[in-house]
């Protein structure tokens, strides 16, 4: 295809014969690099922006390897300079397109609870223990009967060699003995486990595995549920009941937007929100294309600094409280060292990582979130579920944004309560003019850092019925 794009149709057959060594070497290099890089491990319908970045990086490595080997053998005789560039571009386009098409088609088949209301119950996150017919049946049952209420974070087994394999598109995270490390790792991604479903009979578990499960139940609010007992096929042991709607960490389920949200939506017509969504889609597409070289450069820097995977994700509550995965470039090294010891957060971040966070370049992957409709360019920043107070649920009545009114009026140096109040003020006063002002202030913030706008904070507090405490002469924190 690359030869045809170069336009040399007259001597196409002769040119292909001349390129046979390069074609053979290129095919072999692609096979080795793609297989070693794990490009075949992700089902197409679950591909993400991280997988697409992996395609770009591995394609670049495969093309570079093919050029080096061909140069050693034939000094690149007959290989035009533009040919490898066209070849790499076509490879990326085709591999990304087929995965994106498969994901889009699969997403259309999935029933989404899109009734425009906040879910009455919190989403329950569980782990499944066991690799057998019963665990596979349970995973199928969750998809069929409770896909909107229950999400399976992964499976635990007793055989270490089964790690990273999948059952019903659910990944095996590790062994039961590694439960505490797995829980900590999931917590970093914003996933709090509510329940562990054991699909293996208790007497078939290794003593150490059963002890680990019981210790986790005693030391936390996680409920251990044995399926054999629930089905009435085991001993009448004391099995903890299924979790109620409210989770064990004191987090209330999302309620309907309160008066503040209703007032905010009333202040802006439906036409405005439609225009805003169109601007988001066009803006995200334009920025993804224009900033692609910057994103590739950041990806290579991240690969050199902290290694693979390039992206970090966390589950956050989005529009009307629906959970979504927020993506960022990784700026911190792994949470544990080679001896499985926890590394303090201040030792995990490098100078490069701090620079990426300071310039907000780590948030470039969120343009993908904007493009697919999980986020907006402008809006309240999405919080972790544990930080989203029910008293400020009004901020969930609009799509979360990459930047917002709270970020440009204090950002990371004002209290969380003031951020939430500023977000609600934005919901009540949203307009295209205000969004433009936020864009201009965001550019200033990137160059000069976070600064407190005491006047804006006071206005938001006053509008929320709180006593104004900030002074307009406040010196911004560094």
117 or 305, which is more confident: 305
Task: Quick: pLDDT tens for 62-102.
Answer: 999 999 999 988 888 888 888 899 999 999 999 999 988 88
pLDDT band at residue 391 using 50, 70 and 90 as cut-offs: confident
Whether residue 167 is predicted with pLDDT greater than 80 in this model: the reply is yes
Q: What contacts 24+ positions apart, CB below 8 Å, involve 261-267?
A: 261/393, 261/394, 261/395, 261/396, 261/397, 261/424, 261/427, 263/428, 264/394, 264/397, 264/398, 264/424, 264/427, 264/428, 264/429, 264/430, 265/397, 265/427, 267/428, 267/429, 267/430
Least confident interval from 30-39, 198-207, 336-345, 377-386:
336-345
pLDDT at 143: 84
Between CA 139 and CA 125, with CA 145 as vertex, the angle to 5 degrees is: 60
Give the separation between CA 283 and CA 295, rounded to whole angstroms: 16
Give the separation between CA 34 and CA 180, rounded to whole angstroms: 33
pLDDT band at residue 8 using 50, 70 and 90 as cut-offs: low
Q: What is the mean pLDDT of residues 303-313?
A: 88
Task: Quick: pLDDT tens for 422-431.
Answer: 999 999 899 9
Whether residue 224 is predicted with pLDDT greater than 60 in this model: the reply is yes
Q: What contacts 24+ positions apart, CB below 8 Å, involve 417-422?
A: 418/457, 418/460, 418/461, 419/381, 420/389, 420/392, 420/395, 421/392, 421/457, 421/460, 421/461, 421/464, 421/466, 422/456, 422/457, 422/460
469 or 12, which is more confident: 12
**Helix or strand run (H / E) with residue 46:** none
Whether residue 110 is predicted with pLDDT greater than 90 in this model: the reply is no
- Structural domains for the chain: 2-109 (no CATH), 124-230 (3.40.50.720), 259-463 (no CATH)
């Amino acid at each position: 295809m690359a030869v045809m794009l170069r336009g040399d149709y007259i001597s196409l057959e002769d040119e292909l014969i001349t390129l046979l060594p390069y074609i053979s070497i290129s095919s072999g290099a692609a096979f080795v690099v793609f297989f070693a890089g794990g490009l075949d491990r992700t089902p197409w319908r679950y591909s993400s922006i991280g997988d697409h970045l992996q395609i770009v990086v591995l394609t670049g490595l495969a093309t570079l390897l093919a050029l080096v080997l061909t140069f050693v053998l034939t000094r690149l005789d007959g290989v035009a300079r533009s040919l490898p560039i066209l070849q790499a571009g076509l490879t990326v386009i085709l591999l990304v397109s087929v995965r994106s098409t498969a994901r889009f088609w699969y997403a259309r088949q999935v029933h989404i609870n899109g009734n425009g209301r906040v879910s009455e119950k919190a989403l329950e996150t569980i782990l499944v223990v066991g690799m057998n017919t019963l665990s596979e049946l349970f995973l199928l049952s969750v998809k069929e009967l409770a896909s909107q209420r229950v999400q399976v974070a992964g499976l635990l087994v007793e055989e270490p060699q089964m790690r990273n394999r999948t059952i019903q598109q659910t990944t095996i995270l590790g062994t039961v003995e590694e439960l505490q490390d797995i829980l900590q790792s999931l917590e970093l991604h914003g996933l709090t486990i509510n329940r562990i479903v054991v699909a293996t009979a208790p007497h078939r578990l290794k003593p150490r595995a059963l002890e680990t499960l019981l210790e986790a139940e005693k030391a936390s609010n996680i409920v251990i549920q044995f399926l054999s007992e629930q089905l009435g096929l085991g001993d009448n042991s004391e099995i903890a009941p299924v979790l109620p709607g409210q989770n064990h960490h004191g987090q209330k389920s999302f309620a309907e937007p309160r008066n503040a949200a209703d007032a905010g939506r009333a202040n802006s017509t439906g036409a405005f929100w439609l225009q805003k969504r169109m601007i988001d889609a066009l803006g995200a597409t334009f920025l993804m294309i224009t900033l692609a070289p910057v994103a590739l450069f950041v990806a290579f820097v991240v690969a050199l600094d902290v290694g693979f995977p390039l992206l970090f994700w966390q589950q956050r509550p989005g529009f009307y409280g629906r959970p979504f995965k927020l993506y960022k470039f990784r700026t911190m090294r792994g949470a544990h060292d080679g001896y499985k010891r926890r590394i303090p957060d201040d030792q995990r971040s490098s100078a490069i990582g701090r620079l990426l966070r300071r310039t907000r370049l780590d948030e470039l992957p969120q343009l993908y979130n904007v493009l697919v409709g999980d986020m907006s360019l402008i809006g309240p920043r999405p919080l972790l579920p544990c930080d989203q107070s029910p008293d400020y649920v009004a901020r969930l009545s609009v799509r979360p944004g990459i930047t917002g009114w709270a970020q440009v009026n204090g950002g990371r140096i004002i209290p969380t309560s003031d951020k939430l109040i500023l977000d609600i003020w934005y919901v009540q006063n949203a307009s295209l003019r205000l969004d433009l002002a936020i864009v201009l202030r965001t550019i200033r913030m990137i160059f000069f850092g976070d600064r407190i706008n005491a006047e804006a904070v006071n206005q938001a507090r006053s509008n929320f019925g709180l006593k104004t405490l900030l002074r307009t002469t406040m010196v911004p924190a560094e």
